[in-house]
A = this chain, B = another copy of it.
Amino acid sequence: MEYTVQKLGSLAGVSTRTLRYYDEIGILKPARINSSGYRIYGQAEVDRLQQILFYRELGVSLDRIKEIVTAPSFDGAAALIEHREKLLEKKEQIELLIANVDKTIALTEGRMNMSNKEKFEGFKKKMIDENEEKYGKEIREKYGDDTVDKSNGKLQNMTKKQHDEVTALADQVTETLAVAFKTGDPAGELAQKAADLHKQWLCYYWNEYSKEAHAGLAQMYVDDERFTAYYDKAQPGTAEFLRDAIHIYTGMKK
């Protein structure tokens, strides 16, 4: 079976432009070119394209894919393991961003005050990280480990540790809440534990905790459909349940 660009494109679900581009960068050349200059692909190319699309779906860059599919001896597994690392880093970075966004939202919604210094905390942390990644080796070689460690040192570890703690706490909240929700009792022990965990989680973000603000935030979880959707994702009604639990926990039930 032979295919022109459009036939192959619709078969694999990619545009003709994509196929021409893959030809251009040498990642997928047609089996032959006919007398009119048309690209003609065969079965081997179909297979190869599937391979390419598979790795592409994994988020691998076309450059890397080229290495994988052109050199049969190339260690695809090692490349994937490395790629996995990058994905994990990206994920952590995004989690950090989400935490910071949450913080900012809580700030504006809760009328909390956050110093500029604090505002830039995550930002600076990232810069230190990147700096370390890029120049760490060179600087270490030039000035010795002590200097570098002193400048990055403890704050680095502390914020990293804090970050780990806070994500762990967030997971605990979700899990506890999920179990508590099944009991159906927002005043029950589990629900109150979830509320308490939620408070602890909040305290990573707020400089000053107040029952009023906590209760207000809980109400917002119900009022704002985007938050509701988040909490109700697993079990519809969870956001309301959490609000009730927190209202009881804070004694703000009117």
Which residues of A approach B to under 8 Å, CB–CB?
13, 50, 53-54, 57-59, 76-77, 80-85, 87-88, 90-91, 94-95, 97-98, 100-102, 104-105, 108-109, 116, 119-120, 122-123, 126-127, 164, 171, 224, 226-227, 230, 234
Contacts and interface: CB of A to CB of B under 8 A. Distances in A.
24 contacts: A50-B116, A50-B119, A53-B123, A54-B119, A54-B120, A57-B97, A57-B100, A57-B122, A57-B126, A58-B101, A77-B105, A80-B104, A80-B105, A81-B224, A81-B227, A82-B226, A83-B101, A84-B101, A84-B226, A87-B94, A87-B97, A87-B98, A91-B94, A94-B94
Given A81-B227, A85-B226, 6 more contacts: A50-B119, A57-B123, A80-B101, A80-B104, A90-B94, A91-B98
Q: Tell me the dominant secondary structure on chain A's binding face.
A: helix
A108 B234 CA distance: 33
A168 B175 CA distance: 10
How many copies of this kind of chain does the complex include?
Answer: 2
A149 B116 CA distance: 49
Q: Which of A50, A57, A81, A95 has the most CB of B within 10 A?
A: A57
Contacts of A230: 88
A131 to B, nearest CB: 10
Given A80-B105, A230-B88, A54 B123 contact: yes
Contacts of A80: 101, 104-105, 108
